[in-house]
Amino acid sequence: MAIKKVALLTAGGLAPCLSSAVGALISQYSQIAPEVELIAYRNGYQGLLLGDTVSITPQIRAKADLLHNFGGSPIGNSRVKLTNVDDCVARGLVPPGSDPRQVAAAQLIADGVDVLHTIGGDDTNTAAADLANFLEQNNYHLAVVGLPKTIDNDIYPIAQSLGAWTAADEGARHFSNVVSEHTSNTRMLIVHEVMGRHSGWLTAATALSYRSMLDEITWLPEFGLTRNHRDIHAVFVPELEIDIADEASRLSNVMDQVGNVNIFLSEGAGVDSIVEKMRSSGEAIPLDPFGHVKIDKINPGEWFANQFAPMIKAEKVLVQKSGYFARSAPANAADRKLIQDCAVVAVQAALAGISGLVGPDDDQGGLIRVCEFQRVAGGKPFDTEQIWFEQLLSQIGQPKGKPAKTH
């Protein structure tokens, strides 16, 4: 079947790849299939449910390369789960008594869409796959070709998700300024909270990127400007248990010797313990439309800072989150190359009517290919057995610890 009309949407949280991915797809279609009509649904599945589209005009096509210079999404995002009927009704996206999947399917049919490109995480892409299956049962063939977006880098079977490298570098850049706050007070504890609900990859990669920045600095120890003060003293990820008593003892020695302590903390590290404590005290657990705990509402960074501060005799505590700074950046050179390579395969698959999630396949040596939707899932844990991570912990003097029970 000849492809006549293609729609794009971006969904979920931001990542430093959305604008670049949209630009890459537009450019690729303009190059090899300029006759195909392109539209985009504004604000993800919200726009699909409301029939809110933008036409990708010849003027936009001619300037598509400019999108690589921007963070965020040029077509907007939203957190809408098609199977959460109550939420869709409450937000006025569908009438009471209707099925959001049927509404979305009817809109795709009305718009005459042959291919839907979804740029998002596992929820975004599996929802699109469900839509395609629903339409197939009603004798309407829709090819769904997704691109993997998440700075957590935690999608099965994707070896490297789009935007994650950039987020790590930007998080490191954020902390490279924040760390100077240790000079504002003696015995300072700084907790750098990094995004990562289930996976510690971003926290570890941000730490690695930051320490690479330290390697490039010429120090002035005669005036107290040493690497020790600005180095990382602990990296906590969800995949490893955190023995607070043991770590407090170790970090207390660091505080006494160096005069300050810097911790990199994955926002998902220890969340189960925090939530359990909230439940036991009768507190309500804030959830998003996907049923995920709203981590920004329970503040893991503050919780851990409150645990460690008295134990290491910190005189001042600073908790900083780099997530929004990091995820809103434009893609860096490495991510732009990966995005472009994925866009080429994605357009080829779309024109052939093949559905799936395009990215480096973990099970095929990182080959960029169309991964089958039935293999796609979220929550892929960070592999703490990797040599570079074990070396990182060793270099900062932190024992690796035991695997966390939830992983």
CB 263 within 8 A of CB 308: yes
Q: Helix/strand/coil (H, E, C) string of the chain?
A: CCCCEEEEEECCCCCCCHHHHHHHHHHHHHHHCCCCEEEEECCCHHHHHHCCEEECCHHHHHCHHHHHHCCCCCCCCCCCCCCCHHHHHHCCCCCCCCCHHHHHHHHHHHHCCCEEEEEECHHHHHHHHHHHHHHHHCCCCCEEEEEEECCCCCCECECCCECHHHHHHHHHHHHHHHHHHHHHCCCEEEEEEECCCCCCHHHHHHHHHHHHHHHCCCCEHHHCECHHHHCCCEEECCCECCCHHHHHHHHHHHHHHHCEEEEEEECCCCHHHHHHHHHHCCCCCCECCCCCECHHHHCHHHHHHHHHHHHCCCCEEEEEECHHHHHCCCCCHHHHHHHHHHHHHHHHHHHCCCCEEEEEEHHHCCEEEEECHHHCECCCCCCCCCHHHHHHHHHCCCCCCCECCCC
362 is catalytic: no
Single out the residue of 8, 9, 129 nearest to residue 77, CA to CA. 9
- Catalytic, out of 152, 169, 335, 361: 152
Catalytic residues: 152
